């Protein structure tokens, strides 16, 4: 019996079970007539490690997780909110993609306005490829106020307010083809960094790839964040022209390196592909060199320069610092980095930058002090073909530590250790920074991309929990067809060796990065503060319907409906309009009870809004189809929820 347990586990499990059994027996009034832990473990074929992992992750009902993970939702264009260590999915925040439950982009005007801000190339964009969420920071510490996330596919940045976990703004970067090195914030969220990936022509609308080196350009944008308004200030933001390398991840300096940003690049070969014409494909052409360039950018000085007359040029409505100005003003330096680098991660104390080359088995550690003195001493005179000074590799290198095949991204703990994902080996390497030494590796399943450590990008990481964001999950979960979920694996890094605790399938897209914050730093609203509150304004909205002001007003062909919702009725319940009328529905949930949310869905008109307690929303549509259309509350709010309904009556024209 109990074949899964080797002999060395039997005694500990029995002891554990006994302990638990006794503990339960002694604290439970009704007795423990059921099975004890060891019996359950045996029946479910669980090892002692399994039981320990379960105990380390289980959250009893009503008890909250100590950490919250904000993960990119990948192609879904959304953000996932997950409790750690339970790995329970708490919410999917609608960002770049319409989302009906939250009433995002399906009828509510203000949410549609946010999505419309994100239109590019005269297209409605109904998806995004989210990669890197960034929590707002104060003095290098997550402050729990805002979250930013990039859309790689369409170069955009979104701003989410963590008072209500809703997307407030989308800004587009008209000079980029795609982005990737975003979002990363400076230590007081002065700026949100966004670096382009695949270069496109900058100063002209169109140029064929045969003019790549002259006309195509890389770009980094520093989006100015205005904390008071909770919005990015477009006019106070600026971009910097970069060579047409393909830029990759970024990170902001802190502590001694405060004021600087670090942006990786690959394809410094400036390969232009064209496999079909007998050229090397991008994968070969863009990885021919042994070294690419890390870009070292003085953003503090660049922000000053961008404010000086004549130092920027407008391109597609954005201020851009031309390359020549950056070179002349000493805003931009390069240093070699091996080979086809991906992640650049600044250590918590800001003294070092860790880079991993996808085709190099090392973590390469740069010393900020050495970078600083190489810059101060005027460099070696060497430049790239665009005239950007190159700091010699040996002058700025602190150390290299061999980790394994395909190192990608690095996180740090509170004990001076670093953790690097090793993509080709499907492992996470734990290594020490001082002196650099590989300590141990743990298997992950499989093809790990980013890692997220508790409070990982702050000046004071917590350690303890690490999440490996795995791209493949073959043999981990119940088969669900050829498209498999991704796999988040929770790892306890305080144990030595590190222990895998939990597998969480992500069936909504390919998340790339995530950040994990202490839950008690978040102070979301329980209920909107006041009746008639607009999440867009983050204030009471003038003229929002409240109890007693419900009415229908016609102004020409526009019919304004001032409606309230409470358990369990809408007021009014009939909306009578003529075919062709414009309908403007103002609806307020006049309740203040926690969680008393109502929805408003209108049959066949593609409308659903979520109206949380106190919230007001506006819906606009043309009543172009005659007929009778029920509307109803789409949240099961009360015993008489099904009765919370009404009719839109559209009288045929003529």
List the Cα angle 90/109/562 in 5-degree steps. 105
Alpha carbon separation from 413 to 212, 492, 616 (Å, rounded):
42, 12, 43
Is 641 a binding residue for ligand CUA by CB under 6 A? The answer is yes
Q: Which of 418, 637, 648, 650 binds ligand CUA (CB under 6 A)?
A: 637
- Residues 616-635, interacting with ligand CUA (CB under 6 A): 633, 635
Minimum distance, C-beta of residue 36 to ligand CUK, in the bound complex (Å): 43
Minimum distance, C-beta of residue 297 to ligand CUK, in the bound complex (Å): 19
Q: Which of 106, 303, 344, 408 binds ligand CUK (CB under 6 A)?
A: 408
DSSP-assigned letter for residue 257:
G
Is 41 a binding residue for ligand CUA by CB under 6 A? The answer is no
- Residues 247-276, interacting with ligand CUK (CB under 6 A): 249
- Residues 544-573, interacting with ligand CUA (CB under 6 A): 568
Minimum distance, C-beta of residue 587 to ligand CUA, in the bound complex (Å): 11
List CB contacts of 537: < 8 A, sequence separation 6 or more. Answer: none
When CB distances are held under 5 to 8 angstroms depending on the partner's kind, the choice from ligand CUK, ligand CUA, none that residue 633 binds is ligand CUA
CB atoms within 10 A of CB 161: 20
Is 609 a binding residue for ligand CUA by CB under 6 A? The answer is no
When CB distances are held under 5 to 8 angstroms depending on the partner's kind, the choice from ligand CUK, ligand CUA, none that residue 292 binds is none
CB atoms within 10 A of CB 590: 24
Question: Are the CB atoms for 504 and 490 separated by under 8 Å?
Answer: yes
Q: Which helix (H) or strand (E) holds 191?
A: strand 191-195
Pairing of strands 313-315, 141-151: unpaired
Q: Which of 52, 81, 118, 132 binds ligand CUK (CB under 6 A)?
A: 132
Separation of alpha carbons 113 and 97, rounded Å = 13
Sign of dihedral through CA atoms 32, 33, 36, 40? Answer: negative
Question: Are the CB atoms for 448 and 410 separated by under 8 Å?
Answer: no
When CB distances are held under 5 to 8 angstroms depending on the partner's kind, the choice from ligand CUA, ligand CUK, none that residue 99 binds is none
Is 501 a binding residue for ligand CUA by CB under 6 A? The answer is no
Is 598 a binding residue for ligand CUA by CB under 6 A? The answer is yes
Is 180 a binding residue for ligand CUK by CB under 6 A? The answer is yes
Is 449 a binding residue for ligand CUK by CB under 6 A? The answer is yes
Is 168 a binding residue for ligand CUK by CB under 6 A? The answer is no
Is 427 a binding residue for ligand CUK by CB under 6 A? The answer is no
- Please report where in the chains the tokens 């203000």 appear, as a residue: 110
Alpha carbon separation from 309 to 175, 188, 240, 314, 399 (Å, rounded):
21, 26, 16, 12, 42
Minimum distance, C-beta of residue 409 to ligand CUK, in the bound complex (Å): 6
Question: Are the CB atoms for 346 and 260 separated by under 8 Å?
Answer: no
Question: Are the CB atoms for 248 and 264 separated by under 8 Å?
Answer: yes
Minimum distance, C-beta of residue 597 to ligand CUA, in the bound complex (Å): 8
Give the nearer residue to ligand CUK in terms of CB position, either 295 or 342: 342
Cis peptide bond N-terminal to 492, omega within 30: no
Q: Which residues bind ligand CUK (CB under 6 A)?
A: 131-132, 180, 249, 342, 408-409, 449-450, 512-513
Q: Which residues bind ligand CUA (CB under 6 A)?
A: 568, 598, 633, 635-637, 641, 644
């Amino acid at each position: 019996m109990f074949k899964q347990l080797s002999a060395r586990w039997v005694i500990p499990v029995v002891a554990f079970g006994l302990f638990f059994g006794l503990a339960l027996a002694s604290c439970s009034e009704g007795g423990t007539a059921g099975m004890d832990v060891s019996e359950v473990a045996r029946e479910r074929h669980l090892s002692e490690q399994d039981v320990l992992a379960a105990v380390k992750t289980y959250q009893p009902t009503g008890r909250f997780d100590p950490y919250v993970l904000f993960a990119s939702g990948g192609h879904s264009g959304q953000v996932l909110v997950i409790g750690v260590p339970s790995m329970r999915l708490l919410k999917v925040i609608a960002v770049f993609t319409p989302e009906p439950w939250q009433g995002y982009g399906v009828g509510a005007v203000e949410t549609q306005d946010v999505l419309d801000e994100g239109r590019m190339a005269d297209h409605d964009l109904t998806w995004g490829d989210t990669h890197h969420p960034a929590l707002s920071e104060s003095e290098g510490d997550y402050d729990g106020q805002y979250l930013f996330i990039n859309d790689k596919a369409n170069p955009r940045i979104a701003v989410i307010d963590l008072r209500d976990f809703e997307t407030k703004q989308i800004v587009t970067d008209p000079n980029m083809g795609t982005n990737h090195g975003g979002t990363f914030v400076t230590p007081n969220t002065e700026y949100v960094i966004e670096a382009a990936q695949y270069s496109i022509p900058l100063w002209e609308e169109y140029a064929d790839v045969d003019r790549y080196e002259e006309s195509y350009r890389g770009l980094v944008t520093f989006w100015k964040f205005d904390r008071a308004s909770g919005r990015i200030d477009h006019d106070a933001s600026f971009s910097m022209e970069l060579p047409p390398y393909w830029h990759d991840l970024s990170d902001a300096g802190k502590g001694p390196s405060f004021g600087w940003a670090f942006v990786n690049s690959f394809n410094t070969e400036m390969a232009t592909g064209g496999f079909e014409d007998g050229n090397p494909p991008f994968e070969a052409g863009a990885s021919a060199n042994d070294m690419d360039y890390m870009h070292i950018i003085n953003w503090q000085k660049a922000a000053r320069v961008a404010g000086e007359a004549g130092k920027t040029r407008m391109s597609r409505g954005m201020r851009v610092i031309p390359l020549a100005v950056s070179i002349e003003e000493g805003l931009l330096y390069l240093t070699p980095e091996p080979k086809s680098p991906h992640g650049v991660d600044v250590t918590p104390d800001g003294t070092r930058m860790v880079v991993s080359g996808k085709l190099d088995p090392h973590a390469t550690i740069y010393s900020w002090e050495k970078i600083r003195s190489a810059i101060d001493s005027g460099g070696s005179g060497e430049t790239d073909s665009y005239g950007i000074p190159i700091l010699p590799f040996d002058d700025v290198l602190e150390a290299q530590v061999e980790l394994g095949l395909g190192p990608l991204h690095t996180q740090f703990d509170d004990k001076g250790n670093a953790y690097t994902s090793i993509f080709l080996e499907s492992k996470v390497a734990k290594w020490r920074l001082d002196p650099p030494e590989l300590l141990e590796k743990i298997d992950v399943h499989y093809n790990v991309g980013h890692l997220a450590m508790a409070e990982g990008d702050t000046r004071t990481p917590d350690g303890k929990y690490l999440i490996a964001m795995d791209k493949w999950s073959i043999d981990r979960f119940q088969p669900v067809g050829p498209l498999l979920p991704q796999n988040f694996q929770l790892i306890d890094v305080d144990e030595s060796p590190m222990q895998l605790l939990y597998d969480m399938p992500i069936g909504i897209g390919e998340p790339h990065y995530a950040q994990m914050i202490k839950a008690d730093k978040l102070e979301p609203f329980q209920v909107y503060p006041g009746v008639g509150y607009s999440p867009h304004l983050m204030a009471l909205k003038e003229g929002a319907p409240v109890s007693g002001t419900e009415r229908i007003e016609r102004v020409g062909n526009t019919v304004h409906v001032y409606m309230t919702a409470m358990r369990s009725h809408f007021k009014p319940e009939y909306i009578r309009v003529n075919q062709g009328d414009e309908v403007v529905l103002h609806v307020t949930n006049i309740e203040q009870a926690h969680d008393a949310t109502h929805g408003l869905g209108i049959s066949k008109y593609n409308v659903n809004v979520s109206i949380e307690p106190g919230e007001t929303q506006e819906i606009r549509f043309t009543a172009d189809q005659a007929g009778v259309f029920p509307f109803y509350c789409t949240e099961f709010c009360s015993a008489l929820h099904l009765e919370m309904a009404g009719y839109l009556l559209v009288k045929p024209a003529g």
